[in-house]
Structure 1
Amino acid sequence: MSSTLLNRSSSFSQSDLNRPYNDDNPIRIALLGGPKSGKTSIISKLSLNNFRDTYYPTHQIQPILFQFTPSTDLAKSILDENEAEYTLQEITTHRNNISIGPVIYDAYHKTIQNKHIKTVSTNPNRKPKDNLSSSSKVIINSKNPYYLSYNTNKSTTYIPPNITPILVELIDTPPFDPQLVVPFLEASLYIKLDKEILHNLANEPRKPVSTNPLLVASGASELNGNIDGYYFVYSAVPSHDPPSYEEITSTNSNSSGGSGNSIRSVPSHHDSEIPVLEELPGDKTFNLLSIMKGALDEAWREYYTFKRRWNQGKEQDIFSIKTALKNLWQDKNLTEMETMRKELRKDIKLIDNSKDPSDPECPPPIWIICTHINSPFASPKLIENGQKIAKFWKCGFVGIDNTNDNIDEALALIIREIMERKKLQKGKKR
């Protein structure tokens, strides 16, 4: 494995730098969104550097494994652990469609502080550490479990470093339909029942099972607890179809009754999940953001509750078996074990999701992706509303267009947040 090679020696050949450092630990990101939101196009652009203009709906979960190598200076600087000023200035000055979340912002702020401290406390007589390898002529800037950053020459001005390929698995999903989505399943089973089990139900033609779980504890499903992050994808184009008569009538009636703007909360599981926003007729994919957030939060609550109860039951079983071996003549131990199991089954209270990124049981990060921002039919109000929701949820936002805008940056940002969260969680475990 390349990771083993890099740990044994400080000398790097070009072939080492062309292989993924995380070849045994790919970053797994799931894309959720409504129909025609652009999920498949994002994956095609990142993995194949092209995409189809014709829309083909996704009917089943499709994982795509590929090597991501950042090509733009901003994407490289986003993944640079030793530099923050250039990235922050570029995002705040020239990229109006990118908003970073608290985790990345805190990491950049800490980098700036540490750099200032090192500059002030540097001994002028001390020679700088030279990481230049005699065999490969590269300067390694930093390394983490996912990639290495390096430069091929020294410079007095900042040059975004090269990034080794990063193994990424992007998981495409069918269009999100609240009527067909199940937040959580304990086990994913794909079996065909025989007529002996179905009895009279087998007399009718079998109907395909169209229910899609967002999270599975075990079984054959890509959407399991090993997901590292999520993209919530919606389109800046309100709809490819004209709004219905009912939508226009509802909007006009609301507008005529008050201030001239229709204000409402997008449908959600809880009213507190999004701020009050202006209604736009036909914004179907945007309306799904809050519903997806509520369903995903519920899925992770059920997942962590299931894991904790499973571990509690497993520990109790082991303890009870040891006790039973010592006291085989007592039936009391078996009775207590069965009572404990029944109590665990009756306890239906879910554990609240942690909001602390340093907590290992904090759900994976979410980034909101707004597609088609350069389309002549794009709605600036929809882009603005997406930024408002991202700020309200304290997550990242990226507006992209598959022609050339912010594609590499969107993936680099979520990878950087995943990496920073792992560092925080590792520090908390200690």
Structure 2
Amino acid sequence: MLPQEIIKKKRDGHALSTAELNEFVRGITDESVTEAQIAAFAMAVYFQDMTFDECRDFTFAMQHSGDTLDWSDCDLRGPVLDKHSTGGVGDKVSLMLAPILAACGAHVPMISGRGLGHTGGTLDKLEAIPGYNTHIDVAEFKRITRQVGCSIIGQTAELAPADKRIYATRDITATVDCIPLITASILSKKLAAGLDALIMDVKCGNGAFANNPDMARALAKNIVNVSPIPTRALITDMNQVLGHSAGNAVEIRETIDYLTGDYVDARLHELVKRLAAELLIMGNIETKLDSALNKVQSVLDNGEAAEKFSFMTSVHGGPADLIDKPNSYLKPANIIEPLFAPNPGYLTASNCRDIGLTVVELGGGRRRSTDPINYSVGLTQIAPLGTKLDKQTPLCLIHAENKAGFEQAKTQLLKAITVSDENIEIGQSIISDVV
């Protein structure tokens, strides 16, 4: 079965059979299918879409392109749970959610990615912690997940290897925003991790892939329907930065502040608690939303979630006293200065995507996959929508490598916001309930 014939069939708008999809994914894995053929296939799917059966079969083939984790020999004390976000600016939810769930009795084997475009990556944030090793083999991944209750690593060569090749090609061929390809990419990795349940955080807004509710809802429903395990989705707001920081080391610091209770952003807290509570119900740890929310709050209040984060960090090679001495390990930027709006007024709109790109331009993200990351740069004390800005209340603090970087970020950020004389009503961080 020639790869070009499979591509041609999809190009012409015909549904592919299970055998054809299995064959194409097999070729991706053993590299008998070329990068050009992957690109052509992705573009054909982008324009011709996939039926539900095609998407399900494609996902299954990708899931089984490598190893799949089996937890039956690990004597786990709770369910295997995970969450996936479609990406946003300032989204450090995974860093908070994994230790919270572990403290509640679940096991969280989280396979995360790097920054893509204007969105930050969980792996880049974790690698701002000196010594934290995101590249471990499957055996060590399972051992840490069992011992700690959570482990966050990068995609391994063993799990869903076909997705790794397809994802890299999609990123450079303008086929990232394709619902069946997104569905297969997300689910193949999550299902290969041997999960009992999954929750999706589907971002919606000017800082998200899905910039309108209809698109977000379509993606959420597709993932929920294709997934063979219990899966739910929340549609959440990404018209402003999530939390008060965007960057790598600065988001680790916000995570520590959140878990220890030193500073808790209300919108971020609402989302973290709800995602965690839904997973506790799906994993049969709790039966009702109120009791699940209370359990989440209790492990934050008594310090158990913070202890799990500290334990996970140290077992992965990071400092054991990171939570107690974050300033000793999270290197500050050379320049940290406030940015004030040119005129007083209410912050009524922000272009979240442009804010994310500003962090990339500061050096906190990559233009090319080979670019180094400056972990210390970014933004903190980001004013939420509705804030009254004046000469005492800044839009944010800019963490820059040098003065030129600061000035460029200043110019970009001021173009990305709207300041008005009259305030607006701000919506909740969760746009719609579970799909």
TM-score calculated relative to the size of structure 1: 0.24
Larger RCO (CA under 8 A, 6+ residues apart)? 1
More helix by share: 2
- Structure showing greater radius of gyration is 1
